[in-house]
Amino acid sequence: MKTALRPSVALLLIAGILGLVALAFAWAGGWLSPRRIGGAAIADALQDNLGKPEPGWRRAHAKGLCVSGYFDANGTGTALSRAALFPAGRIPVTGRFSLGGGDPLAGDGRNVFHSMALLFRLPDGEQWRMAMDHTPIFPVATPADFVSLQIAGIPDPATHKPDPAKLQAYLAGHPETKAFMDYMKSAPLPSSFANGTYYSINAFRFVDAGGASRAVRWQFEPEAPFAALDKKTLDAQPRDFLFVDALKRLSAGPMRWHMIVVLANPGDRTDNATIPWGAGHRRVDVGTLTLDRAATEAAGDCRDYNFDPLVLPRGVTASDDPLLPARSAAYSASFRRRAIEGPRPDALTQAGEGGAK
Amino acid sequence: MNGPDTLFAFPARLLHWTMAVLILAMLFIGAGMVSTVSAAYPALLAWHRPLGIAILVLALVRLAVRLTHRPPPLPADLPPIQAAAARVSHYLLYALMIAMPLIGWAMQSAGGYPVILWKGVALFPILPHDIVAYGWLRRLHGLLGYAFFLLILGHVGAALVHGLIRRDGVFRSMAGRGG
Ligand code: HEM
Ligand code: HEM
Ligand code: HEM
């Protein structure tokens, strides 16, 4: 610099430069964009919907049971994806059964998601994590709708019940959510964790050894014959009956599911989890999941994992479904909150029901 | 004031400016990714881990360069309090550029995550799986990250005061030219 700036001008210039950098940082961090949704905003919406935070617990699917076992791949999956899960052989699995909702002590007799989360430990430190529900579709298509739906269901401080008018107002603009609720009302609820089918719901992409990529969904279909709960007597069931049933069944013998990969047909939407793909799809049975052990969250080894659906191995990538990145960010926000709060004894442990095995 | 003794050694200058870009990028990526649930979240996170580890490697090289090359002296007329502030802030900058990636790696280990550099390549864990340790390290990673940003703002402000107002050769010692 040849000519000196006057100090006052130079100071202004310096302040301006620093101010611009700080402003750019504030923009990047979203502090200038109150409407940008981050993982924390979703965790807040879930807490508000519950009416109170439940420190130490998952902000969704709080009530769970740890399971473990293995996956026997039959080798057919290698034609679809080069994921290390698919060559014929055995891969160890950690899993978690859970029920939808943020209340860790809620009764099992509710018409909510029955869920299975899995963590496959692949060679070379790779992992594949999944979190699946017993429905083939989801109530909302976007993270913004997810937040709106949670907010519409926030309990009124006076009545401790959601305001039906708010829910109606939300549903009026969201036929897909209405369709999901109608589906939930009429669809049978599996009588046990053992005989439910668990769906990826979101679409993913499989990439094969040649680099070809295809859109898929997948589902775990049980070997145990399906039986439905009587929805009229749900309230009368003991609080932990589904989890106690799972513990009891697993102490008697293993549970098995087939992993069925469903290939998208041309025209199938991959970016909208509220739309089922329907019938007439190529289905590939890529192997058998065997779960042979169960333990309460306190005694088992599943509680302290984040079953983030975007922890994926080579050969599997996210689709363009906006729920997938939202899930990853929201699970991470929930995980960092419950981590620092510290885990608490689960319902079964509190009730002394964990010793069934 | 001129000549080689008034400049930082070339490797020191190269590392300084490369890392300045990388570290600022990392702070923007970190703050940006946690602000959103869009596809930018996984995309930025996929950059965040390998860039962070690259910063760790470069910081260790830089530390070695710093210990083997004498830095140019500060101007003799610099008030002792400012000279001390410069020294302390430089120690802190070094501490943070080594600690931030180590905390990131340690917290992902404690969180039970595979520490993925890129698809198919995961680093070994440096802490056992412990969710409460994850919780505290994750909070520390955030707090120190924002402290790092503030410190860098102060550092850049001081560098510009040297370069534009005092014009005492300190800016040139790192920039290679200028005031
Ligand atoms: C934008 C949409 C969604 C949001 C915001 C959301 C949010 C969450 C959150 C915050 C958790 C707790 C995570 C933790 O602390 O570890 C969770 C758990 C879970 N979610 Fe979702 N979820 C979404 C969609 C889905 C979908 C589409 C499925 C099924 C395919 C699903 C299945 C599950 C399951 C099974 C768990 C329990 C996982 C476990 O056992 O750790 N979620 N969800
Ligand atoms: C983004 C992050 C930055 C970091 C972490 C950083 C770090 C450092 C450190 C540790 C030193 C001490 C010398 C050494 O041992 O390497 C230093 C010196 C210096 N930096 Fe930076 N720096 C950054 C950005 C910048 C920027 C943007 C500027 C210019 C506007 C700048 C200007 C200088 C100058 C002029 C010196 C020499 C100071 C002296 O002689 O003591 N730095 N920097
Ligand atoms: C110079 C190095 C690094 C800097 C400056 C940095 C900075 C940041 C910042 C500012 C955030 C946002 C914090 C918040 O708002 O709470 C963040 C988050 C994060 N960083 Fe780093 N980081 C570095 C290295 C690393 C490394 C090496 C890893 C992993 C190997 C890592 C993993 C993460 C993760 C996983 C998150 C948060 C994701 C979440 O909670 O959803 N970071 N980082």
Looking at residue A357, what is its pLDDT? 41
- Asked if the model's pLDDT at residue B11 lies above 70, the reply is yes
Residue of B nearest to A34 (CA): B35
Q: How much is the average pLDDT of B165-176?
A: 94
Residue with tokens 């002590």: A105
Cβ–ligand 3 distance for B111 under 6 Å, the answer no
- Asked if the model's pLDDT at residue A341 lies above 90, the reply is yes
Cβ–ligand 2 distance for B159 under 6 Å, the answer yes
Looking at residue B129, what is its pLDDT? 98
Q: How much is the average pLDDT of A42-68?
A: 97
| Residues contacting residue A189 through CB under 8 Å, at least 6 positions apart | A111, A114, A134, A228, A229, A231, A234
Looking at residue B4, what is its pLDDT? 54
A71 phi and psi angles, rounded to 5 deg: -120, 125
* Continuous segment of H or E residues that includes residue A252: helix A241-252
Cβ–ligand 1 distance for A73 under 6 Å, the answer no
Looking at residue B179, what is its pLDDT? 64
Looking at residue A125, what is its pLDDT? 92
B3 confidence band (pLDDT: 50, 70, 90): low
- For atom 33 of ligand 1, the residue with the nearest CA is A131
A contact test, residue of B37, B105, B152 with most A CBs within 10 A:
B37
Cβ–ligand 2 distance for B93 under 6 Å, the answer yes
- CA nearest neighbour of A208 among A74, A73, A77: A77
Looking at residue A1, what is its pLDDT? 46
Distance CA A199, CA A131 (A): 9
Looking at residue B2, what is its pLDDT? 47
| Alpha carbon of residue A48 to chain centroid | 19
* Percent of chain A clearing pLDDT 70 (strictly above): 98
Task: Return the CATH number of B4-175, one of 1.20.950.20, 1.10.3720.10, 3.30.2350.10, 3.30.200.20.
Answer: 1.20.950.20
Looking at residue B177, what is its pLDDT? 81
| Residues contacting residue A215 through CB under 8 Å, at least 6 positions apart | A203, A204, A205, A263, A264, A268, A270, A319
Average pLDDT, chain A: 96
Looking at residue B137, what is its pLDDT? 98
For every residue of A200-238, DSSP letters joined together read --S-EEEE-TTS-EEEEEEEEEESSPP-B--GGGGGGS-
A281 is catalytic: no
- CA nearest neighbour of A236 among A64, A63, A108, A106: A108
What residues in B contact A342, CB-CB < 8 Å? 131-132, 135
- What would the pLDDT profile of B40-81 be if each residue is shown by its tens digit? 999 999 999 999 999 999 999 999 999 999 999 999 999 999
**Residue numbers of A between 75 and 104 with CB closer than 8 Å to B:** none
Q: A17 to chain B, minimum CA–CA distance in Å?
A: 9
Using a CB–CB cutoff of 8 Å, tell me whether A143 touches chain B: yes
Q: How much is the average pLDDT of A302-320?
A: 98
- What would the pLDDT profile of B113-170 be if each residue is shown by its tens digit? 999 999 989 999 999 999 999 999 999 999 999 999 999 999 999 999 999 999 999 9
Could you give all domains of chain A from N- to C-terminal order, each with its CATH number? 36-350 (2.40.180.10)
Going from N- to C-terminal start, the domains of chain B cover 4-175
Q: 3-state secondary structure string, chain B?
A: CCCHHHCCCHHHHHHHHHHHHHHHHHHHHHHHHHCCCCCHHHHHHHHHHHHHHHHHHHHHHHHHHHHHCCCCCCCCCCCHHHHHHHHHHHHHHHHHHHHHHHHHHHHHHHCCCCEEEECCEEECCCCCCCHHHHHHHHHHHHHHHHHHHHHHHHHHHHHHHHHHHHCCCHHHHHHCCCC
Q: A231 to chain B, minimum CA–CA distance in Å?
A: 35
Q: Token pair for residue A325? A: 């990145």
Q: Helix, strand, or coil here: A126?
A: coil
Q: How much is the average pLDDT of A56-67?
A: 98
- What would the pLDDT profile of B17-31 be if each residue is shown by its tens digit? 999 999 999 999 999
- For atom 8 of ligand 3, the residue with the nearest CA is B30
Size of interface A-B (CB pairs under 8 A): 133
**Residue numbers of A between 284 and 313 with CB closer than 8 Å to B:** 303-306, 310-313
Distance CA B152, CA A24 (A): 14
Give the amino acid at A32.
L
- Asked if the model's pLDDT at residue A293 lies above 60, the reply is yes
- Asked if the model's pLDDT at residue B88 lies above 70, the reply is yes
The answer to whether the Cα torsion of B43, B44, B49, B50 is positive or negative is positive
